[in-house]
Structure 1
Amino acid sequence: MGSSPEKVPFISLFSGAMGLDLGLEQAGFETRVAVEFDADAVKTIRHNRPTLPLVDRSIELTDGEELLRLSGLKRGEVPLVVGGPPCQAFSVIGKRRGLEDRRGQMVYEFVRIINETQPRSFVMENVRGMLSMSLRSTSDPAATKEEVAHGSLLRDVIQKFEAIGYRVDCFVVNAVNYGAPQQRERVILIGNREGKVANFPGPTHSNREPDGLPPFRTLEHAIGKDFVDPDPSLLNFSPRKLHYLAMVPEGGNWRSLPPEIQKESMGKSWGLKGGRSAYWRRLSFAFPSPTVVTMPNHASTSMCHPRETRAITVGEAAAIQEFPSSWSFRGTTQAKFRQVGNAVPVRLGEIVGKVVSQLLTAQAFDEVATPSRIIHIRPHVRTRSFWKNGVALSGDHDYYAGQLREDAS
């Protein structure tokens, strides 16, 4: 019998609950050292990986020399450094304070570690909101036109990488296109210092029949009838919220309620513009899950179980993110949800790992390097509608029903 292929070592920054790391490991990589500041995520890592070297303090308080020593690797010979700097400062759900939020400044700490370790390649992931963030706020009187421009933060980060010798391929992707049972858009930066071009694969699944691809995997694939919940911890809705959610059919939302109940339950939110599709939302087994959030029991970002009138559990959320059932999350229930909701889908981490593997084994270019680039690979996907032609739609219609084909982007 032949020996197993040797694992490719990497350094993990902003490791969180290790969703990205687990995906990379499935693609043939090996986590050599992790850096994580959040106390609950540290407990999760130590519980599941007790022998893994772990720097349990802010990345600001470590440096490349320490990480190289703990990983047993040498500067310039590290195959890969990965990480997802805190995304709350860029998320469209949050206040989007960008670099005014200390967490937003962590992207430059990532650049610093790359410069100090000089890996052959790196992967930095973040939320889609990073695409539009500006370096400085328009309210800052000292800000220049370039600094407040749409997307100036990402352009600056890429330029910082280029200044230390890396070219960057930035991919805007959606995990649902690759077989994940969840809609989740992410920005993936893949850099290398050998002038190579990273190529992210096209979708392997689709909700458009003409694409000729397997249909999207659904919530039923993740937590259907044979699902055994490894962690039934629950942040449930309040009695008032449960009262209204009990009236919503599987796959429906506030549109499914009688008009007088809509107004009563939503208050001022009822008159706001926009679809508000997540308000009083009950999930459907027939469709992919919406993006797993850190607090599934909010009325406006409701993740109510399809058949039971309750919020999804920690175990269900983790299964949607495709964590192994044996992976145990530590901390309070709220802390567990924060770790799961902030994680990279494991499947997406595996796809990224395969891209990096191809990049590392490809031959470098002799000619002038291709410029860094940003590529969108069908990131915005609409899998369903809640309202069409004056009729509220729930989850009781065919996956490839006509309105889905019309609404799919």
Structure 2
Amino acid sequence: MSTNITIKEAANTLNISEQRVRTLCRTGVLSATKFGRSWMLEQDSVNHYGLQSAHVVAEDHATYDVHKNTKPIALSFFSGAMGLDLGIEKAGFDVRLACEIDKYCRQTIALNKPNMALLSDINDYSKQDILNASGLREADDIDLIIGGPPCQAFSTAGKRKAFNDDRGNVFLKYIDLAIELNPKYIVIENVRGLLSCPMHHRPHDERGSEFPDLTADEMKGGALNFILSKLKKSGYSYSFNLYNSANFGSPQIRERVIIVCARDGETPPYLLPTHSEKKEYGLPKWKTFKQAVKGLKEHQHLNFPEKRLKYYRMLKSGENWKNLPEKIQKEALGKSFYAGGGKTGFLRRLDWNKPSPTIVTHPAMPATDLAHPEEDRPLSIQEYKRIQEFPDNWEVTGPLVQQYKQVGNAVPSSLGCAIGKLIISLINNEKVNQFIGFSYSRYKNTSNHEWEIQFNEAYKKSIEPTLKQKEISFG
């Protein structure tokens, strides 16, 4: 039962004026009862409003609900708005802890999962801190540690500084901490750029016959090779692939590298798809945007500027700037018309009958527009949540632009569920079927087998001149 507090106590909790609290009471935003000229407020309502509006800071805390159950235990790092973790939970895990530094994501976690342990900057915690917060002892066996370290350091759209970037450094902290905690399985989620990013970037004007050969760390894929080497030295086997979320039931074409690492040394199988583009392997077809947003009535959204709406009114579902007359294309895109690349994000209306393209952190930026198939507006935050498979009642905190950012950065719940189901099958020693030849993504040579062959061949080729020189020197 909720405790009642006074106007003054509520104002102190929310760090707002007493007059503002009275207004919130009169308008029904806060649950309160008036006695004469005074209000008594429900503490739970005040706390909920504080977290939702970010007037109350989501502080670090240990789990409030340590209970014995038969569910396997998972710990989450770089949790964001918890899309990945909701899928892990759905698969049957007890997610004990979330570790997240972003202010608004922390508010979202605290609001929706108040009993879950919440920590902030991963760099500030030791193995023992993690165990204490999770209500675990040294002797307890952790089943799964899962995390998606910040991807900007590896993104092909960024400067690709890898581990020279502060965000890259937390990647290494995550690996080191996960190995020290020694779970049965470690899962790493990241962007496609991880497959090709070097650990150390050598400027192009410092390459060539007059310079030393590229080291393994300086080659494409050097960052991933370094990570995999650390895991192997610690006794973990692994497999990875680039997975399209649409193949696992998400109404979205969103591709992520998923690395599954096993303490027992057995190479894990790939994730088991539940859908396919054209019903291949007897699976249901990909889910569509129309299926995802069916029944939605409430919509909060940003707006396009009028100068862009002029062109949207000329486009139908599934069309983009390329469907405009060439003269209008040049007018609409300006200098961008003459830039390279496909420019597929410009003036883009979603197709009712296809999965959504990859959700971005802002649906109304000129080069990454995500417009409704028919209405002259960007996608709403409610549509964002459906596409990323958050429950409708999952509350996302902060200003609308921050809500878009949180949901846009998330991993679709269906992909998380596929990961969780695979791990549970492995824990239970169940056979996992594999679909030989299945196209997990739109790209080729993205599995661990293909990647290792390519990396090793490239490395061997890069050092051949040096080896030949040595043969001549010692000949």
Give the shorter-chain TM-score range: 0.7 to 0.9
1:17 aligns with 2:81: yes
Provide the rounded CA distance (Å) in 1 between the counterparts of 2:364 and 2:126.
39
Corresponding residue of 1:151: 221
* SS of aligned partner of 1:300: coil
TM-superposition CA deviations, 1:315-343 (whole Å, max 9, x none): 11111011111111001111111111111
Provide the rounded CA distance (Å) in 2 between the counterparts of 1:103 and 1:246.
41
Q: 1:5 to 1:199 in 2, by over 3 A?
A: farther
Match of 2:108 among 35, 38, 44: 44
1:97 aligns with 2:161: yes
Query: After alignment, is 135-144 or 91-100 more displaced?
Result: 135-144
Alignment-mate amino acid for residue 152 of structure 1:
G
Once the 2 structures are TM-superposed, how far is the Cα of residue 212 of structure 1 from its aligned partner? 3.9
* Alignment check: 8 A CA contact 1:75 1:117 kept: no
Give matches, 1:130-145, under 5 Å: 130-139=194-203, 144-145=214-215
What value does the CA root-mean-square deviation take over the aligned residues? 2.3
1:323 aligns with 2:393: no
Q: Which runs of 5+ in 2 are unaligned?
A: 1-67, 207-211, 431-436, 444-475
Corresponding residue of 1:129: 193
Provide the rounded CA distance (Å) in 2 between the counterparts of 1:309 and 1:10.
42
Query: After alignment, is 135-144 or 198-207 more displaced?
Result: 135-144
1:227 aligns with 2:277: no
Corresponding residue of 1:73: 136
TM-superposition CA deviations, 1:243-292 (whole Å, max 9, x none): 22222111100011111110011112112233222211111111110001
Give matches, 1:9-408, under 5 Å: 9-56=73-120, 58-75=121-138, 77-139=141-203, 144-208=214-278, 211-224=281-294, 226-229=295-298, 232-362=299-429, 377-380=439-442
TM-score scaled by length of structure 1: 0.84
Provide the rounded CA distance (Å) in 1 between the counterparts of 2:74 and 2:213.
38
Once the 2 structures are TM-superposed, how far is the Cα of residue 115 of structure 1 from its aligned partner? 2.4
* SS of aligned partner of 1:147: helix
Once the 2 structures are TM-superposed, how far is the Cα of residue 344 of structure 1 from its aligned partner? 0.8
* SS of aligned partner of 2:232: helix
Query: After alignment, is 161-170 or 340-349 more displaced?
Result: 161-170
TM-superposition CA deviations, 1:73-105 (whole Å, max 9, x none): 234711111111011222233343322321122
Provide the rounded CA distance (Å) in 2 between the counterparts of 1:54 and 1:340.
19
Q: 1:54 to 1:201 in 2, by over 3 A?
A: closer
Query: After alignment, is 289-298 or 74-83 more displaced?
Result: 74-83
Corresponding residue of 1:390: none
TM-superposition CA deviations, 1:176-225 (whole Å, max 9, x none): 1122110010111111211123222443322236654322110001113x
* SS of aligned partner of 2:334: helix
Larger radius of gyration: 2
Provide the rounded CA distance (Å) in 2 between the counterparts of 1:82 and 1:139.
34
* Alignment check: 8 A CA contact 2:161 2:200 kept: no
* Alignment check: 8 A CA contact 1:17 1:340 kept: yes
Q: 1:136 to 1:45 in 2, by over 3 A?
A: same
Provide the rounded CA distance (Å) in 2 between the counterparts of 1:26 and 1:286.
27
* SS of aligned partner of 1:170: strand
* Alignment check: 8 A CA contact 1:294 1:342 kept: yes
Provide the rounded CA distance (Å) in 2 between the counterparts of 1:308 and 1:97.
40
Q: 1:28 to 1:203 in 2, by over 3 A?
A: closer
TM-score scaled by length of structure 2: 0.73
Provide the rounded CA distance (Å) in 1 between the counterparts of 2:257 and 2:367.
25
Query: After alignment, is 195-204 or 280-289 more displaced?
Result: 195-204
Provide the rounded CA distance (Å) in 2 between the counterparts of 1:143 and 1:98.
20
Corresponding residue of 1:397: none
Once the 2 structures are TM-superposed, how far is the Cα of residue 376 of structure 1 from its aligned partner? 8.6
* Alignment check: 8 A CA contact 1:90 1:127 kept: yes
* SS of aligned partner of 1:67: helix
Q: 1:143 to 1:238 in 2, by over 3 A?
A: farther
Provide the rounded CA distance (Å) in 2 between the counterparts of 1:147 and 1:98.
11
Alignment-mate amino acid for residue 132 of structure 2:
R
Provide the rounded CA distance (Å) in 2 between the counterparts of 1:331 and 1:7.
33
Higher relative contact order (CA 8 A, sep 6+): 1
Query: After alignment, is 212-221 or 180-189 more displaced?
Result: 212-221
The count of corresponding residues between Structure 1 and Structure 2 is: 365
Higher helix share: 2
Percent of aligned pairs with the same amino acid: 38
* Alignment check: 8 A CA contact 1:172 1:376 kept: no
